């Protein structure tokens, strides 16, 4: 995909374009390098669902699995070896971007979702994955559960760059930013440097509309509110970002070389076909932000993307939308709790599927 005016304009507005996909075929075919070299894509995100789909759909992993079967290594070790290899290779493809920009060129690898509610286990696995991949342009993805907050602080204090994932509510987002700042402060107290430490906070979009639309249907109140809450929620998240990263607390860290924790818009593929297929990109334009897109959304925006108003111009409207949704009888606290639980469970299910697939491949290659 050649860089076109739509993607160039998006990048110029301050939105970093990342790809929400990774597979060995994408790397070995040269397609990822092509997306990077034409400057369309400056980062990559992954999750257990993406890896489960990649491994089950390709024979590119057969030789590596065969070698591991001969060595009779455990399924867990095999799984981490496979995913770390793909992420390491992707990091190498993105390395020129990291050198050019200093901030982008990152590839994300997630801790096991099974430890999402165990702070110590999450932090331990984050440290292990950081060591295993051994690339400075890696992000370790940590879910934004309550327990995950402590793991974020610990990991940042250890000098590990973190992509905080599965954020749905403004309350949790503020806690995530606090966890990041606390990690930076702890690292300084321990005598460490803040050089090279990066973080993004992945705020999920489409799932919010899916759940709130369903509840609006149940209430039968004002169907015109459908399809508006996800964008409004994200816009208010950016307002929170602006507030935190202009605070006195932040300025102290900034003088020590800290980098802001950029908001990342995730789950930006539109699930309701009645909505414009680029709305979760074109209506979330803001400086110093990231939008990670599945390839279909990336292509759609390149073809017919049309940027809307910058986020800072939409705060009043966003607040009115969220108030109207609550007034319609939608319990937003419950919505966000349900979405977090479902998000963790979906990744656990994908992880289990991935584990079983690798287990089966190891048996077949013995």
Q: Is 313 a catalytic residue?
A: no
pLDDT band at 92 (very low <50, low <70, confident <90, very high): very high
Tell which residue, 264, 280, 354, has the closest CA to residue 45: 264
* Torsion angles phi and psi, residue 107, rounded to 5: -125, 135
Q: Where does the pLDDT of residue 56 fall: very low under 50, low under 70, confident under 90, or very high at 90 and above?
A: confident
Q: Choose the catalytic residue: 31, 141, 323, 365.
A: 141
Rounded Cα gap, residues 271 and 194, in angstroms? 39
CA distances (Å), origin 6, targets 183, 211, 221, 301, 306: 37, 30, 37, 7, 7
pLDDT over threshold 80, residue 361: no
Q: What pLDDT does 62 receive?
A: 83
| pLDDT in the model for residue 365 | 64
Give the span between the Cα atoms of 59 and 56, in whole angstroms.
8
pLDDT tens digits, one per residue of 118-175: 999 999 999 999 999 999 999 999 999 999 999 999 999 999 999 999 999 999 999 9
Task: Please give the average per-residue pLDDT across 45-52, as a whole number.
Answer: 89
How confident is the model over 313-340, as a mean pLDDT? 97
- Residues whose CB is less than 8 angstroms from the CB of residue 344 and which lie 6 or more positions away in sequence, other chains included: 113, 116, 117, 143, 145, 166
pLDDT band at 232 (very low <50, low <70, confident <90, very high): very high
> According to the model, what pLDDT value does residue 234 have?
98
Give the pLDDT score at 221: 82
What pLDDT score does 43 carry?
Answer: 97
The mean of the pLDDT values for the chain is 93
pLDDT at 366: 61
pLDDT, average across residues 221-242: 95
Give me 189's structure tokens.
Answer: 């107290």
Specify the 3-state DSSP secondary structure of 61.
coil
Q: What average pLDDT does the segment 66-70 reach?
A: 84
Average pLDDT over residues 33-60: 88
Q: What is the pLDDT of residue 3?
A: 53
pLDDT of residue 54: 86
CA–CA gap between residue 255 and residue 250 (Å, rounded): 9
The pLDDT value given to residue 1: 46
pLDDT of residue 357: 77
Model pTM?
Answer: 0.94
Bridge partners (DSSP) of residue 141 are 110, 163
Strand (E) positions, 101-218? 106-110, 138-143, 162-167, 199-204
List the domains of the chain with CATH numbers: 5-365 (3.20.20.70)
């Amino acid at each position: 995909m050649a860089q076109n005016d739509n993607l160039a304009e998006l990048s110029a507005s301050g939105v970093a374009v990342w790809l929400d996909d990774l597979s060995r075929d994408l790397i070995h075919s040269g397609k990822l390098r092509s997306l990077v070299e034409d400057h369309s894509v400056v980062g990559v995100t992954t999750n257990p669902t993406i890896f489960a789909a990649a491994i089950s759909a390709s024979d590119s992993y057969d030789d590596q699995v065969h070698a591991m079967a001969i060595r009779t290594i455990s399924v867990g070790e095999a799984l981490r070896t496979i995913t770390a290899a793909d992420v390491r290779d992707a990091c190498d493809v993105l390395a020129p971007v990291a050198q050019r920009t200093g901030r982008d060129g990152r590839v994300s690898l997630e801790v096991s979702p099974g430890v999402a509610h165990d702070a110590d286990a999450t932090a331990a696995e984050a440290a292990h994955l950081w060591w295993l991949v051994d690339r400075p342009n890696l992000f370790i993805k940590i879910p934004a559960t309550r327990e995950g907050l402590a793991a974020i602080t610990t990991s940042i204090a250890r000098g590990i760059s973190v992509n905080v994932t599965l954020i749905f509510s403004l309350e949790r987002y503020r806690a995530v930013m606090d966890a990041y700042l606390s990690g930076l402060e702890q690292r300084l107290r321990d005598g460490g440097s803040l050089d090279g430490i990066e973080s993004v906070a992945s705020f999920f979009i489409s799932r919010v509309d899916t759940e709130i639309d369903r509840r609006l249907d149940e209430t039968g109140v004002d169907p015109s509110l459908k399809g508006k809450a996800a964008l409004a929620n994200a816009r208010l998240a950016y307002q929170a970002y602006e507030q935190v990263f202009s605070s006195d607390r932040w300025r102290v860290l900034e003088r020590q070389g800290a980098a802001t924790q950029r908001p990342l818009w995730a789950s930006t593929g539109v699930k309701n076909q009645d909505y414009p297929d680029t709305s979760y990109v074109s209506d979330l334009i803001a400086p110093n932000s990231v939008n990670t897109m599945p390839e279909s959304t990336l292509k759609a925006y390149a073809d017919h993307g049309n940027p809307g108003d910058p986020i800072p111009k939409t705060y009043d409207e966003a607040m009115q939308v969220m108030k109207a949704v609550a007034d319609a009888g939608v319990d937003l606290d419950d919505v966000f709790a349900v979405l977090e639980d479902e998000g963790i469970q979906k990744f656990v299910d994908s992880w289990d599927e991935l584990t079983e697939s690798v287990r089966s491949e190891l048996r077949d290659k013995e």
